[in-house]
Chains A and B, each alone.
Chain A
Amino acid sequence: MLKLAVIPGGICGGCDVALASLGEKLAEILKYYEIVYWPIAVDKKLSNLMNMNHIDVLIYMGAITTEEDAKLAKELSAKARVRVALGTCSVYGGIPGLNALYKPADIIKTISLLVDTKLESSALGLPQPVQHMAYTDVVEPEVLAPGCPPTDKVLDQLTEILLNYAKSGKLEARTMLLGDSESLCNNCPRNPKTTKIAMPGIKRLYEVKLDSNKCFLEQGVLCMGPATRAICTHPCIKFNYPCIGCGGPVEWGSDSGLSMISTLASVLLVDDEKKLLEPGLARELNKIRDVLGTFYKYTLRKSKAYALKNKAGGEG
């Protein structure tokens, strides 16, 4: 039996549920693997895990938000033969990654203003917060399984990898980014046309009655689909809700927010550019509320925007 450990970092629980919902496939996996740690599923002690010499497969879920997370991630990963980053937080920093622009102390201060409880970490014995990171900022995992939560498509691919590894003891490639190597537009269910695409302006969802058969961008609604990896089967888009980019960029290492911004610049009000000129276009672009939260909702921690900010040493 191979040893499988599932380590939660700063998580919301969605990845736990997604993994548990594997159901029968989980049973199949358990023919080859013994779960040596997974707090919500099995009653195993962390101290035992820490004492183990090696772990075969380690699945890390969530972002790294505390010193404890960071320590566990580093020490346990060193013992693991195959490291899996499960969920967008683990791969790209996810929504907690949006905190990366702020100092931990400032975040605690802000929270203190909102809630009554004294958040004196040491007094309460709470772990010390660290600058929020993705798991991939600490180690270089062999398998990257993005999704918020990880989709069936991604989990099926992960199951396959785990079973193959159990049987052959080998991985197909050194770094595997799960999902399909294309963006969501490729199989978009919204009857894409073949003529040019023009965005009539920037509209928020409440301002427009969405046609469920027409490209979101052509209706003025920002959709991250063009720059987002196809890790899903368009559930949001089919539900008449634009993609918000939880799958991350199409290729590991690229920057989906930046790609989307340059694409947007190309298609926004393309027929009226000469009439609006730069001030008119700028006015339209200013309608985008929360630029980082729109283009980098899930990937800020791994983005060039963050790298630049970090280099400049600036704050918020």
Chain B
Amino acid sequence: MCHCGVNIAGTVDVKKVVEEVKKLPDVVYAADYVYLCSQPGQELIINAVKEHKLDGVVVAACTPSLHYETFAKAVEKAGLNRYVYEMVSIREFDSWVHADRALATEKAIKIIATAVAKLRGDKPYERARLDVIRKALVVGGGIAGITAALSLAKMGIPVILVEKYATIGGKMAMLHETFPTLDCAQCILTPLMAEVARHPLVKIYTLAEVDSVEGHVGKFKVKIKIRPRGVRVEDCRLCGFCERVCPISVSSEFDRGLSKRKAIYIPFAQAVPSAYVVDFEHCNRCGLCVKVCPTKAVNLEEKERVIEEEVGAIIVATGYELYPLEKIPEYSYGPENDVIDSLQFERILSVQGPTRGEVKRPSDGKPVKRVVFIQCVGSRDVNHLPYCSKICCMYTAKHALLFLENVPDGEAYVFYIDVRAAGKGFEEFVKRAQEHGAVYIKGRVSRIYKDKLTGDVVVEGFDLLENREIVIRADLAVLAPGIVSALDKRLAEMLKVPVDQFMFAAEIHPKLRPVEVASAGIFIAGCVQGPKDIPDSIAQASAAAAKAAELLIQGYVEKEPIVAEVDRDKCNGCRACVTVCPYGAIEIVEGKARVNEIVCEGCGACTATCPVGAIQLRNYREEQALEMVRAVMRVR
């Protein structure tokens, strides 16, 4: 028992506690020391264990989160197993929160009595040490995924990067310029794309999706389904003959429907891998491309394949999508109505985009002179997304500014609820847009429609500050839709990534552990965790890579043996435990539950749910808990 100077001894009569504790059943030795965590204090424990041949130790001191490990090491040094040692807090739970010396002393005795009662049922266990496969999987090839993959590769760790589309780059590749510095998105992203593609330790699979995940931290067996590309990457020279002869024309995903592409196409000039791709959904198998290809790179017979990889850690960076605007019919979303979303506007601004950077109306190509930007479309709306999508205020300011620079005689109106410009240089950036002439109107837009007679886009809203209805006849309306998670339920379940109600991944601790999730060995980066801008995504991806590297470079994980155990005679196979287990550690084998000791984190949810008491947490068994309660009741 520790005095902790006067921290404990000031309020608790330590000598009396020691005398009383000595009277407890099975206690053969009890002593106190002024600072038990000091070297002589630890020696005291070690000597007592050896001298009295103790088979269990209770330390009553500060809090286990401070010194559990200190005394565990001491106990191990004395030759005992660390799991027959209990530490209880008589400082945080007693001396610091009470003033009455007699009562605090009594409470200390009670606390120690419970620990002694629990200790009686404690059994020694050994920690399992698991080898970790020094390889990582990154799911999602956007800026977060690319950053994480590159960071790991530079630390010498082989990385598998899986991307759903035909190229890596993600949403950032679609952007024209980035706030608040107006860096060209392509110019800063494409060198990274090329670098990650070139890196010998990174293997990129595009058109690929995770098909199944088995195993646990250190050893995940991942099956990856790869759709056919139809073009051999190493042979494609980007001559574009195939594209010219292809008779099929469909709308381009990359330009978000504002331009056409062929059924054999390259998403954008700097795509990685740098090769054409066949859109098998629209291809009519006419074979013209096969005929004209000078390197015989086109193969329309290519089949889908599934490959298997083993990795030690997984980083999930699946990014975001825009909130589906069909759900807000009052805004008449659609390029044919000249009501477009923010990413479409990025494409219009882009010199590589459908209008080569000229701001024209999608419907008839008329130059745009007046634009209305609408923020919080779906976001901060109880009927749609209650949360703030964080980046819309800033990119709308950017859009307004870029438009006004592009069209000096243009007019830009911005409907906003609040302008949230918290970030380095953000507020100044919004000011800059306003100084350039962007008119900010505080209020919601109630309706947008296309006036069929004049071709104008009519935006009806309410100006809160002037307290009046406002109608703007514009050439173009740009909506800033909310951000939704692109993580799908199946993938989340396979990876055992806990999600919130909006399918954003739930981190273990929002402050202290922002890139880890409850399943060991899985990390998150970018918008999968919540809406965020490019700098935040990159910072988080770097953090996720660092956390994954901690695990992978160490080469092994030690597993706490305090896990749930099933009494297979009692178990009735009702599956309630399978349902509550947050780690997916329990499975039903031959009609009874079985705990995967490696995956189990010892939370105890299953023990509380079991209707027959068949599943118990090691060293926290029901009998032990009852003994502890009895001990409290007995001590007076």
Chain A interface residues toward B at CB < 8 A: 181-186, 192-198, 225-227, 250-251, 254, 256, 259-260, 262-263, 265-267, 270, 274-275
- Considering the complex, give the chain B residue whose CB is closest to the CB of A197: B575
A181 touches B569 (CB 8 A): yes
Q: What are the residues of chain A within 8 A of B591 when measuring CB–CB?
A: 186, 192
B237-245, B380-388, B433-441, B603-611 - the one binding chain A:
B603-611
Query: How far apart are the CA atoms of A194 and B590 in the complex, in Å?
Result: 9
Q: Could you give 20 example pairs across A and B, Cβ below 8 Å? A: A182-B569, A182-B570, A183-B611, A183-B612, A185-B573, A186-B591, A194-B578, A194-B587, A194-B589, A195-B575, A196-B578, A197-B575, A226-B572, A226-B611, A251-B612, A259-B611, A262-B609, A263-B609, A266-B580, A267-B576
Query: How far apart are the CA atoms of A35 and B608 in the complex, in Å?
Result: 47
Q: Given A192-B574, A194-B578, list of 10 further CB < 8 A pairs?
A: A181-B569, A182-B570, A182-B612, A195-B575, A196-B578, A256-B611, A265-B609, A266-B605, A266-B608, A274-B500
A181 touches B573 (CB 8 A): no
Q: Is the interface of B mostly helix, strand, loop or mixed?
A: loop
B574 touches A266 (CB 8 A): no
Q: What are the residues of chain B within 8 A of A263 when measuring CB–CB?
A: 574, 576, 609-611
> B501 on the interface (CB 8 Å rule)?
yes
A227 touches B612 (CB 8 A): yes
Q: What 0/1 readout, one digit per residue, does chain B (53-97) give for beta carbons within 8 Å of chain A?
A: 000000000000000000000000000000000000000000000
A226 touches B612 (CB 8 A): yes
Shortest CB–CB separation between residue A250 and chain B, in angstroms? 5
Shortest CB–CB separation between residue B587 and chain A, in angstroms? 7
> B41 on the interface (CB 8 Å rule)?
no
Shortest CB–CB separation between residue B218 and chain A, in angstroms? 25
Q: What are the residues of chain B within 8 A of A182 when measuring CB–CB?
A: 569-570, 572, 612
Interface residues of B in 467-513 (CB under 8 A from A): 500-501
A226 touches B501 (CB 8 A): no
B609 touches A266 (CB 8 A): yes
> B588 on the interface (CB 8 Å rule)?
yes
Q: What are the residues of chain A within 8 A of B589 when measuring CB–CB?
A: 194
Q: What are the residues of chain B within 8 A of A225 when measuring CB–CB?
A: 574
- Considering the complex, give the chain B residue whose CB is closest to the CB of A198: B579
Query: How far apart are the CA atoms of A270 and B576 in the complex, in Å?
Result: 10
Shortest CB–CB separation between residue B385 and chain A, in angstroms? 14
A226 touches B579 (CB 8 A): no
- Considering the complex, give the chain A residue whose CB is closest to the CB of B584: A196
Query: How far apart are the CA atoms of A260 and B501 in the complex, in Å?
Result: 27
Q: What are the residues of chain B within 8 A of A251 when measuring CB–CB?
A: 612-613
Give 3 closest A-B pairs by Cβ, nearest first.
A227-B611, A194-B588, A266-B609
Which of A194, A198, A254 is packed against the most chain B CB atoms within 10 Å?
A194
Query: How far apart are the CA atoms of A265 and B605 in the complex, in Å?
Result: 11
Query: How far apart are the CA atoms of A184 and B572 in the complex, in Å?
Result: 7
A193 touches B575 (CB 8 A): yes
Q: What are the residues of chain A within 8 A of B579 when measuring CB–CB?
A: 196-198, 266-267, 270
Interface range on chain B (Cβ under 8 Å from partner): 20 to 34
Shortest CB–CB separation between residue A271 and chain B, in angstroms? 10
Query: How far apart are the CA atoms of A48 and B573 in the complex, in Å?
Result: 51
With beta carbons under 8 angstroms apart, the residue of B572, B578, B610, B613 that contacts A195 is B578
Q: What are the residues of chain A within 8 A of B613 when measuring CB–CB?
A: 250-251, 254, 259
Known contacts A181-B569, A275-B501; is-contact A197 B574 (Cβ 8 Å): yes
Known contacts A194-B588, A274-B501; is-contact A226 B574 (Cβ 8 Å): yes
Query: How far apart are the CA atoms of A268 and B605 in the complex, in Å?
Result: 15
Interface residues of B in 582-597 (CB under 8 A from A): 587-589, 591
Q: What are the residues of chain A within 8 A of B612 when measuring CB–CB?
A: 182-183, 226-227, 250-251, 259
Query: How far apart are the CA atoms of A256 and B588 in the complex, in Å?
Result: 23
A183 touches B572 (CB 8 A): yes
Q: What 0/1 readout, one digit per residue, does chain B (405-429) give for beta carbons within 8 Å of chain A?
A: 0000000000000000000000000
Shortest CB–CB separation between residue A275 and chain B, in angstroms? 6
B576 touches A266 (CB 8 A): yes
Q: What are the residues of chain B within 8 A of A195 when measuring CB–CB?
A: 575, 578, 588
Q: What are the residues of chain A within 8 A of B571 when measuring CB–CB?
A: 186
Which of A251, A254, A263 is packed against the most chain B CB atoms within 10 Å?
A263
Q: What are the residues of chain B within 8 A of A266 when measuring CB–CB?
A: 576, 579-580, 605, 608-609
Shortest CB–CB separation between residue B521 and chain A, in angstroms? 21
Shortest CB–CB separation between residue A229 and chain B, in angstroms? 9
Query: How far apart are the CA atoms of A267 and B605 in the complex, in Å?
Result: 12
Shortest CB–CB separation between residue A256 and chain B, in angstroms? 8
Query: How far apart are the CA atoms of A260 and B611 in the complex, in Å?
Result: 6
A197 touches B572 (CB 8 A): no
Query: How far apart are the CA atoms of A184 and B611 in the complex, in Å?
Result: 11
Q: What 0/1 readout, one digit per residue, does chain B (221-232) give for beta carbons within 8 Å of chain A?
A: 000000000000
Shortest CB–CB separation between residue A167 and chain B, in angstroms? 29
Shortest CB–CB separation between residue A6 and chain B, in angstroms? 32
Q: What are the residues of chain A within 8 A of B570 when measuring CB–CB?
A: 181-182, 250
Shortest CB–CB separation between residue A47 and chain B, in angstroms? 46
- Considering the complex, give the chain A residue whose CB is closest to the CB of B609: A266
Interface residues of B in 537-572 (CB under 8 A from A): 569-572
Shortest CB–CB separation between residue A151 and chain B, in angstroms? 18
A196 touches B575 (CB 8 A): yes
Query: How far apart are the CA atoms of A256 and B576 in the complex, in Å?
Result: 15
Q: What are the residues of chain A within 8 A of B573 when measuring CB–CB?
A: 185-186, 192
With beta carbons under 8 angstroms apart, the residue of B500, B576, B587, B605 that contacts A197 is B576
Query: How far apart are the CA atoms of A254 and B571 in the complex, in Å?
Result: 15
Query: How far apart are the CA atoms of A186 and B501 in the complex, in Å?
Result: 34
Query: How far apart are the CA atoms of A260 and B573 in the complex, in Å?
Result: 14
B575 touches A192 (CB 8 A): yes
Shortest CB–CB separation between residue A186 and chain B, in angstroms? 4
Shortest CB–CB separation between residue B321 and chain A, in angstroms? 20
